[in-house]
Amino acid sequence: MLEALVEAERGRGRTHPNPIVGALVVSGGRVIACGHHERAGGPHAEVVALEKAGARARGADLYVTLEPCNHHGRTPPCTDAILASGVRRVVVGSIDPNPLVHGRGIRRLRGAGVRVDPGVLGEECDRANEQWFKFITRKIPWVVLKAAVTLDGKLATRSGDSRWVTGPLARARVHELRDRLDAVLIGIGTALADDPRLTARGKGQRDPVRIVVDPRARLSPEARLLRQRSAAETIVAVTLAAPRERVRALEQSGATILRCRHDRKGRILLRDLLRRIAGRGLTTVLVEGGSRILGSFLRERSWDELFLFFAPKVLGEDALSWAGMPSPPSMGRALEVQIAELARLGPDLLVRARPLR
């Protein structure tokens, strides 16, 4: 099953709105075929592995990281292919939480006389798809916050200069994140100040969907986000009160407009934004800033992971802090996190954290 998990990871960042899945066909203790789900609408991992195995699958074991589906979607049920292949046993990692699947695939196989062993490395398989599990059960994406800061927690100098806070290894890790997550999100302040591209520039990497939180549709139609060759779309999230002529200009420049509810101060409601993002089939979002938008996600506890890249630099008290939210009145009410990873990236330090539930 560990090998099947490695195979599943090959689809990371490319399968939305579907999960990542890996499968192996094993005969006589030897792997004779493997496969993973490459993209939505493409064949599922089990089908890929079984087609590679061909007649050798008869009497063999099939290892799959997620319960096989038993319903018609973009592709036929995987259980049909499994039964037709003649495998004698199916070893399953995770039980699929999708109500369309949950337990039905296993029942179908057992009903046809196939031995099914579920829950093998179940925790590891669940963890591999925890982002998708949240998406499919709560209808909102997995949210990753990212900031590159100095040792004193500053994003930029008082003049707004932020290039570059961290070194090349840390920046390469950010491009890996963009490649592995479905979308990258910034606030309009960052879009206007930096005019970023928000692409993934490593070899073989794919660009994420780009999202700008822009309540009043202030983004220029000439922004680089809208003037580059990329297969990924640019979404501009506006409020219902955004000026129509500005919204129209952005649409004419190729932007996809996402109209969201807002509060009394004209700020987009994050929960509504996240639901609408999930409604477009985006299972994961990387929030890159700036300070105000990061603070909003922190304040509303609408996040799942935090990547803080610390550079060995100090900017001082009048520089821009990364967490743009009010300070609590006491230490006992501070936002607490659980450290999940510490890593050296050249001179820089990565701290990866999760909310302390």
Q: Which runs of consecutive H residues, i.e. helices, occur in the chain?
A: 2-9, 45-53, 78-85, 104-111, 122-128, 130-138, 168-180, 188-194, 244-252, 270-279, 291-299
**Alpha-carbon distance 357 to 354, whole Å?**
9
> Residue 13 in contact with residue 48, Cβ under 8 Å?
no
Q: Tell me, what's the pLDDT at 205?
A: 75
**46 has catalytic annotation:** yes
Residue 223 has pLDDT above 90, yes or no: yes
Judged by average pLDDT, the poorest of 93-102, 140-149, 274-283, 301-310 is 93-102
* 311-330 tens-digit pLDDT: 999 999 999 999 988 899 99
Boundaries of every domain in the chain: 1-135, 139-355
Q: Tell me, what's the pLDDT at 203?
A: 64
Residue 357 has pLDDT above 80, yes or no: no
Superfamily designation of domain 1-135:
Cytidine Deaminase, domain 2 (3.40.140.10)
Q: Tell me, what's the pLDDT at 247?
A: 98
Residue 1 has pLDDT above 90, yes or no: yes
Which residue do the tokens 């292919």 mark?
81
* 100-151 tens-digit pLDDT: 888 899 999 999 999 999 999 999 999 999 999 999 999 999 999 999 999 9
3 state DSSP class of 352: strand
Q: Which of 69, 90, 98 is nearest to 26 (CA)?
A: 90
Output the DSSP codes for 54-78: GGGGTT-EEEEEEPPP-S-SSS--H
**Alpha-carbon distance 335 to 328, whole Å?**
9
Q: Which fold has domain 139-355?
A: Dihydrofolate Reductase, subunit A (3.40.430)
Query: In which band, very low, low, confident or very high, does the pLDDT at 204 lie, cut at 50, 70 and 90?
Result: low
Judged by average pLDDT, the poorest of 10-19, 165-174, 319-328 is 319-328
**Partner residues linked to 109 by β-bridges:** none
- Of 7, 46, 288, 305, the catalytic one is 46
> Residue 280 in contact with residue 208, Cβ under 8 Å?
no
Average pLDDT, the chain: 94
Query: In which band, very low, low, confident or very high, does the pLDDT at 228 lie, cut at 50, 70 and 90?
Result: confident
* 28-85 tens-digit pLDDT: 999 999 999 999 999 999 999 999 999 999 999 999 999 999 887 778 899 999 999 9
* 93-112 tens-digit pLDDT: 999 999 888 889 999 999 99
